[in-house]
Amino acid sequence: MTKTTQFKRLLHSDRLVFLMEAHNGLSAKLVEEAGFPGIWASGLAISAALGVRDNNEASWTQVLEVVEFMSDATDIPILLDGDTGYGNFNNIRRLVRKLEQRGIAAVCVEDKLFPKTNSFIRGERQPLAEIEEFVGKIKAAKDAQSDPDFCILARLEGFIAGWSLEEVLHRAKAYQQAGADALLVHSKKQSPDEVLAFAQAWDGSSPLVVVPTTYYSAPVERFERAGIRMVIWANQNLRSCITAMQKTCRQIFTERSVGTAEDQIASIKEVFRLQNAEELLQAEERYLPKRLESTRAIILAASRGGELGELTRAKPKAMIPVGGIPLLHKLVHQFRAARIKDIIVVRGYGKQEVNAPGVHFVDNDDFENTAELLSLSKAVSHLEGELVISFGDILFRKHILQNLLVEEHDIAIVVDAAGKNRGQIKGYVDFVSTTRPYSLEYSEEAVFLADIGPDLPAETIQGEWIGLIKTTARGTAVLRTGLEELSERPDFSRLRFDDLFRHLLARSVRVQVLYITGHWLDVDDLDDLDRAQAF
């Protein structure tokens, strides 16, 4: 059943129906889960949530965007508080067409002038629209709809403005004859006497709707006996969340901690549930390329990290805590977050201290006398399929790994274009020269490695390799062959990755460069460690 048909049936139900206010996708979801059959998309609440007044300060297109999110998040019908229709007859025609496109079931329009003012702010001073003008709006709205079940509710503001029952009834009959599907009778009295008097005098030819904001204590049975079909609780969700957020903010500010508040607020898990995060995980299983599932990571973490002094006397650099979490564990977490489950760690110094759950370890026991390529060769049996190789002492933002994984070239490396001058600060730096320097201008032309090493001429340097490589299955095979060829050299134990890359370049192997500008760091010394704590 369409949402428009659902709403029309609610209007003509033989039982009193209740709608609850919502002002965004999340609150709409909560209304639905609470059991309400429909939602009131309150103009006051939406305006307040956007931080503006209920005086048409939020444009109709901004309101439209909000209710679209509400509609997407729910399966029950939404009645939009359409204020005065956001203009004249032409504006409301366009509004109705746009609401239908977004699955909104109905709109309520009040017979005041544009721009509107909230009914509870000096309502008696607010002029009403001429009857003929408002009748024209209703007719235009009905002519604009393409779904026969889309509903137009005419909101009677006569009582708010201080008019008599006779005038409100006169207007109601004109609006009903113009095609309004229902009438919303509004009042700011503390008792429901005005709306009940109207209901008693009304001939019942159109369903009646009331909004008991000020006369909320009236028993709802009185509305039911009066023949009223729908009650709208118009702003209670907005007001309740204001109270809750004020309390939480004051408590956290006063206590300088979230410890107490955590026990009183919804869990992150509940937020994810309301966002339907599980559906996205299932969709990823269905639609994402399965090749990412088979990607393997090798982390080189054999060195002690002597520049960290006493900190690495009892444990290797890879296990030094950063923000309370070992550096290695942070890397492992990032790879698993990118759906890389098969992780190999090459360890050496203090290997008995190197640990991470679900990780396979290989050892380089001669770590003191060897360099990077010999450590990599210890994991040669794992050099197959799609692969990511990472130094064990780097941190990087997750988008860097995500962008690297989708590169299609056989061998790709990450280069920091902002790292041209690091050699003056660091000792050994993998400077790179490329086929094209970094540019802010977009280009579809791929960039490739031209040279790499710590001693490149300054004028040729385009950045620094950060210690992150990604290879396809074919690229891994090329990398493995190059490693095997270099292993024949007598100085193999002292060779580094720049030696491997230059070896590949000499054989016309293309190595793609993925440029970044910062958003990573390596942990070499105590200053780096300090920066890492705040990374």
Could you give the dihedral angle defined by the CA atoms of residues 56, 58, 60 and 61, in that order, rounded to the nearest 10 degrees? 170
- Residue 131, helix vs strand vs coil: helix
**37 three-state secondary structure:** coil
Beta bridge partners, 394, equal 522
Q: Single out the catalytic residue among 54, 498, 522, 528.
A: 54
What tokens were used for 422? 């690091």
At residue 422, the 3 state secondary structure works out as helix
Distance CA 2, CA 103 (A): 9
Structure tokens at 174: 């004109």
| Distance separating alpha carbons of residues 234 and 213, to the nearest angstrom | 7
User: What span, in angstroms and rounded, lies between the C-alpha atoms of 154 and 202?
Assistant: 15
Largest CA distance in the chain: 106
Q: Catalytic residue at 54?
A: yes
- The answer to whether the beta carbons of residues 166 and 174 sit under 8 Å apart is no
> Among 358, 357, 382, which residue's Cα sits nearest to residue 300?
382
Stretch (H or E) spanning 433: strand 431-434
Dist. CA 273–CA 270, nearest whole Å? 5
Task: Kindly report the three-state secondary structure assignment for every residue of 473-504.
Answer: HHHHHHHHHHHHHHCCCCCHHHCCHHHHHHHH
Tokens read off for 288: 């994402």
C-alpha distances (whole Å) from 176 to each of 112, 113, 171, 181, 306 are 17, 19, 9, 7, 85
Residue 293 Ramachandran class (φ > 0 left, ψ -120 to 50 alpha, else beta): alpha
Residue 136 burial (CB count, 10 A): 16
CB neighbour list of residue 299: distance below 8 Å, 6 or more residues apart: 318, 328, 331, 332, 343, 344, 345, 346, 390, 391, 392
Active site residues: 54
